[in-house]
Amino acid sequence: MWLINVHNYNLKEFLNENDLPRYAILSHTWGDREVTFAELKSGTVTKGRGWEKIKETCRLARSERINWAWVDTCCIDKDSSANLTESLNSMFRWYQKSTVCYVWLEDLEPATPFHIGIARSRWVTRGWTLQELIAPRDMVFFDAEWGFRGDKRDKCVELSAATGIPEELLRMESRISDYTVAQRMSWAAKRVMTRVEDTAYCLLGLFEVSMPLIYGEGTMAFHRLQEEIMRRDNDMTLFAWNPLKDQPTNGRHCSLLAISPAAFLGCGNIKKWPLSVYNPDFSVTNKGLRTTGYLALGQGLQKDESRPERLDYSMRVGRIPRGSQGDEQKFMIVSIVLWKAGPDLYLREREELLISSDEFDGVKDTVRSTIYIVTKMQPPDLGVLAEIRQGATRLIVPGSILRRPVPESYWSYSDLLFFEQSNGLEDVHLAFVHVNVSPVVLPFVVVFVVGQGGRRRSYIFEADQDKRSTRKLFSLPRANLHVEFSEFADAYPDLPLKDRVRINVDHIDYVVSVGFRQVLHLVFPDHPVTMHELRVRVERSRRLSDGGASVYQSEGEDR
């Protein structure tokens, strides 16, 4: 750490932070002509606005019998990448260890009241000054003419109103770690930086992380910051943000991670779950974020005129207080909406945060499972969607209610899709459905078999024909197991595995059949994408006399 001797303006390097002398530190906004490290070291600068800031800082330090000072414009050797990296990773700690921090508000006129001037000041809009406000214990403010305007403790109400930072933290009555990731990010939501990368680098101290500086990487710097936060903390509120207009997307989906702190605007009251079960461990892998947590399957959680029965997955990421001040123990649940893209693989929907009651309004089911969520989504990124859509089969059932698909991890409720298993065996998928055959609704079991080389077969039978076998088929232990067709057929030799079944309802004959057809085939550079429809048909039949035999002729289409 380089410090300025306040008596002769010479620079001196201190290699061990534990042996640092008492020093004053300056917080300010940069102008057009600042004194650089090389200029101060050579001693050639004796005038200019940047030089006046250094002189005033040293004068104030001398008045308090402090012999050293630090000013970011001239105490960082920006020609040395190692010194720059060390400085930016250590800056929060350096402000924290300072004896006193002087804040010079160059746009605060002496006649302007502090609460008005601080709200308008450029100082509260810059990214770097956020940590400079939070870290120091002793901070004093000066106006444009270096007139004393008060200290941080005296002005915490005005500072909190201007910045959104809680008064308790400004008064040092709480610690930075007492606040969730979403809350800390929200404090930076409206702040701006000259360089995109500094949007991330200026927040390193707030999250107690260090990382290499790579100027030129753009928004990837903020992505890396979030990955570093995930490695240190399992705070799920990291995902509690609302997509921005320029958020990279692929259709209706986006990355799990935000592109800037601006996405956390309005998230300043989001709390963590007090129970560790809702703050599970997670890790970043090459497949995405791996986490074991509770997924809720809700009905109609998002308004969609074209799909009024749309089902969505949601994952709890935090909660917010509700009610009056006397009702602090009651909370609303904050969730993100997910789209199932493959077995145990999800994308985040480009939707705002889902806020629901403690009972999870509209929730159909809640399950605990290990899943992967895609963390990077750069448009058009069609390869990702191509890969996860390969071998998908859509189940279409007229007027149906679907229950307990097997294996459940290969089933997407939101799109009514099965994801075909790719282990080269003849794998079995099962779906228990209630089909509307007016005026009754009858239970059926649909069997879909995927064989080697993409060969597909489909069967259907009435669930009530063999209730014991049906219950066994959909028992909990089989919910996520792979079942090979030969094993399945041997275990249930009495099941009528046919592609259609005849039934009589109110003296009317129907044929309920099942079949599949290819509906989509795209060829991408690396692989094809294929989707099929597994369609259940209900047809009304009428009897024709043919020498005493009964012949059926179908009428009507899918209903």
In whole angstroms, give the CA distance from residue 454 to residue 299.
33
What pLDDT does 545 receive? 42
In this structure, the number of other CB atoms found within 10 A of the CB of residue 194 comes to 9
Backbone angles phi, psi at 343, to 5 degrees: -55, 115
Mean pLDDT of 274-289: 80
| Range of weakest confidence among 20-29, 310-319, 340-349 | 310-319
Q: 62 by DSSP, 3-state: which?
A: helix
What pLDDT does 293 receive? 73
At 412, is the pLDDT very low, low, confident or very high (cuts 50, 70, 90)?
A: confident
Q: Is the pLDDT confidence value at 366 over 70?
A: no
Mean pLDDT of 247-270: 86
Query: How much of the chain exceeds pLDDT 70, in percent?
Result: 86
Mean pLDDT of 350-378: 73
Give tens-digit pLDDT for 158-173.
999 999 999 999 999 9
List of residues 6+ apart from 289 with CB closer than 8 A: 230, 256, 282, 283, 372, 373, 375
Q: Is the pLDDT confidence value at 127 over 90?
A: yes
Give tens-digit pLDDT for 266-278.
999 999 887 776 7
DSSP line for 122-171? GGGGBSHHHHHHHS-SSEEEE-TT--EEEETTTTHHHHHHHH---HHHHT
What pLDDT does 225 receive? 96
| Range of weakest confidence among 30-44, 129-143, 516-530 | 516-530
**pLDDT: which is higher, 383 or 224:** 224
| Range of weakest confidence among 92-101, 358-367, 458-467 | 358-367
Q: 468 by DSSP, 3-state: which?
A: helix
What pLDDT does 544 receive? 45
At 552, is the pLDDT very low, low, confident or very high (cuts 50, 70, 90)?
A: very low
Q: 433 by DSSP, 3-state: which?
A: strand
| Range of weakest confidence among 217-221, 419-423, 517-521 | 419-423
State the average pLDDT for the chain.
Answer: 84
DSSP line for 484-546? BHHHHHHH-TTS--BSEEEEEETTEEEEEEEEEEEEEEEE-SS-EEEEEEEEEEEEEEEEEEE
List of residues 6+ apart from 313 with CB closer than 8 A: 295, 296, 297, 298, 337, 338, 339, 340, 346, 413, 414
What pLDDT does 277 receive? 65
